[in-house]
Amino acid sequence: MAAARLVVAFLAVSSAFLAVSGQKFNAIFSFGDSMSDTGNLCVNGAPAGLTLTQPPYGETFFGRATCRCSDGRLVVDFLAEKYGLPLLKPSKQGGADFKKGANMAIIGATTMDSGFFQSLGIADKIWNNGPLNTQIQWFKQLMPSICGSTQACKSYLSKSLFVLGEFGGNDYNAMTFGGYSPEQASGQSGTIVDAIGKGVEQLIALGAANVVVPGVLPVGCFPIYLTLYQTSNAGDYDQYGCLKRFNALSAQHNQLLQSKVTSLQGRYPGARIMYADFYSHVYDMVRSPGSYGFSTNLQACCGAGGGKYNYQNGARCGMAGASACGNPAASLSWDGIHLTEAAYKKIADGWVSGAYCHPAIGA
């Protein structure tokens, strides 16, 4: 009887530990762009002129720049903390142990390979060679050190969380900065979404059974777009001050992506494929900033005080003359292009709870 009570007590303590530590997944594996890169672009030395390696980047949590495009942690960081896992190391970090997770995301990443942009005549707008397919190849190279054999990996990866994106934002950026109108860029949305769908299928073939697929953001509300494409026509803006044409492009992409996720859910009933609604959550923050603890929604926290939106290409965050606002937690936008740690924390919470992720990642 004493032995039986001891076993029961041990199981109770073990269950309590797992509940507290939140160990729902073996690991987290992330793919994407500057919304989720935790250092890949800087592993082998940051490119010249990269401002995010300078203060005040990273000041809120890390106390130093970490090659994250924010004042602190990103969504993937908060997910790792939620599930009792270490913050994700960049996959390019030599000699690292990736058994508990790895981050293949890299700043500037696109969905499409270089040939796509060459065909559109805008190859010069892509400065980084880390598209979706390349990132999946990076992950495959890590797999033997993570989980061993193909069969062992299928088992291990089925109990891990994969975050695929967001992807698409830099594809549209390249087209926009290459002279394509939002309406012209929207003609490529189907091709981009199909590529994301194929990426999901590649991960499932490797063993993934829990895949989060985020949509793109309402960039028409971002200081960089509001500054570079501002107009004198009030009809170009919605009631919250966002550029309607650019948000319409994001919304179309997301509609197609949601349909793709629904199709994949039907095709792979053994996997949990989750659509994370980046757009709606961030747009809600723009619409009701006070509800989220924000006092500013369309102005960058970090900048040189330029114009209505505190964004200047020639005086961006991390450059001479730029500085951070006194309380980044009260701002939605960090540098005019990316969000603050406070915003990313709320987004991660929304994905876990299911308020902005369907189905929920889950507690």
- Give the active site residues: 34, 335, 338
Rounded to whole angstroms, the Cα distance separating 225 from 95 reads 40
Query: At residue 122, what is the residue type?
Result: I
Q: 354: how many CB neighbours lie within 10 A of its CB?
A: 14
Burial 256-277 (b: 16+ CB within 10 A, else e): bbbebbeebbeebeebbbbbbb
Q: Is the dihedral of CA 31, 27, 212, 61 positive or negative?
A: negative
Residues contacting 29, CB < 8 A, separation 6+: 101, 102, 103, 104, 139, 157, 160, 161, 162, 163, 208
Could you tell me if 39 and 93 are in contact, meaning their C-beta atoms sit under 8 angstroms apart?
A: yes
Could you tell me whether strands 272-276 and 357-358 are parallel, antiparallel, or unpaired per DSSP bridges? antiparallel
Rounded to whole angstroms, the Cα distance separating 348 from 26 reads 18
From first CA to last CA, the distance across the chain in angstroms is 35
Kindly state the tokens that stand for 268: 């792979």
CA distance readout (Å), 3 to 7, 9, 10, 14: 6, 10, 10, 16
Per DSSP, what are the bridge partners of residue 272?
210
Q: Name the residue with tokens 């989720």.
A: 36
Per DSSP, what are the bridge partners of residue 214?
276
Rounded to whole angstroms, the Cα distance separating 62 from 70 reads 11
Angle between helices 278-287 and 244-267 (to 10 degrees): 140
